Amino acid sequence: IETLRVDPAVVARQQARLRQVRAGRDAAAVRQALRRLEAAARGTDNLMPAILEAVEAYATVGEICDGLRRVFSTYRPPVVV
């Protein structure tokens, strides 16, 4: 089985872009959008508007997923012996 090998230069370039995005965004707007996302996830609201708000505030996919994991947890299949 072949595994994907990513050029370290590509990784470094992407990490630099991520640092640049995080440095240039409004951190307060990101926090607020992520709080709204978690509140929507705890309720019965449609999550898409809250996700879009977070994306528009430049929240990362990881930050959005972390917020959803805080509410929904992570699926762990049962262990059958």
**Domain map of the chain by residue range?**
27-81
Q: How do residues 17-31 score in pLDDT, each as one tens digit?
A: 999 999 999 999 999
Please count the other Cβ atoms lying within 10 Å of the Cβ belonging to residue 9: 8
Please, which pLDDT band fits residue 81 given cuts at 50, 70 and 90?
A: confident
Q: Where does residue 22 rank: exposed (0-12), middle (13-18), buried (19+ CB within 10 A)? A: middle
pLDDT digits (tens, 9 = 90+) for 35-56: 999 999 999 999 999 999 999 9
| 60-74: pLDDT as tens digits | 999 999 999 999 999
Mean pLDDT for all residues in the chain: 96
* Nearest-angstrom CA–CA distance, 67 and 42: 11
* Cα angle: 73, vertex 34, 61; to 5 degrees: 70
* Nearest in space to 30 (alpha carbons), one of 67, 5, 69: 67
Tell me, what's the pLDDT at 43? 97
